[in-house]
Amino acid sequence: MWRLLRTIALGMGIGALAAAPAAAQATHVVRLIADARKDDYRFEPASLTVRPNDVIVFRVVSGAPHSVVFEGEGLSPGVRGAINSAMPGRSGDLSSPLLTAVGKEYRMVVPQVPAGKYAFYCLPHRAYDMRGSITID
Ligand SMILES: [Cu+2]
């Protein structure tokens, strides 16, 4: 009897999941570009709009090494922790590891944080103003 009830409950749970509106998980690619001859240092696109659980792929296209470091100013401890948790293999607070080769990719899943704009920069090219932002819907 209990097993039957549990089976029914599980079935209902799955049904409820299937009925929920499909929260599509989008993947966004951000290219990391640096060309000293052209004085060109940028994230491309430099700004993008994302949703929690979307995937962002930072892809090194030229001019390695690069990194992705979120601006910490004004972040609450909770938000800071959520962003840190979303960044695999961090090299420090809010910092990706150094992306040392062309073709290297760094993936992160957008954390559940309040809607708003979150700025980041590339540490090796910070002096060249290589920066970008995500706006979380
Ligand atoms: Cu860079």
- pLDDT-derived band at 22 (thresholds 50, 70, 90) equals low
- pLDDT-derived band at 9 (thresholds 50, 70, 90) equals very low
CA of 9 to the centre of ligand 1 (A): 51
CA of 122 to the centre of ligand 1 (A): 5
What mean pLDDT is reported for the chain?
Answer: 89
Q: What is the phi/psi pair of residue 15, to 5°?
A: -60, -40
Q: What is the phi/psi pair of residue 7, to 5°?
A: -65, -40
**How far is the CA of 28 from the CAs of 45, 106, 134, in angstroms?**
10, 12, 11
- Residues sharing a CB contact under 8 Å with residue 36, sequence separation 6 or more, in sequence order: 63
CA of 57 to the centre of ligand 1 (A): 15
CA of 61 to the centre of ligand 1 (A): 10
**How far is the CA of 117 from the CAs of 19, 22, 49, 80, in angstroms?**
31, 25, 9, 14
Distance CA 89, CA 58 (A): 14
Residues 77-132: tens digit of each pLDDT:
999 999 999 999 999 999 999 999 999 999 999 999 999 999 999 999 999 999 99
CA of 55 to the centre of ligand 1 (A): 20
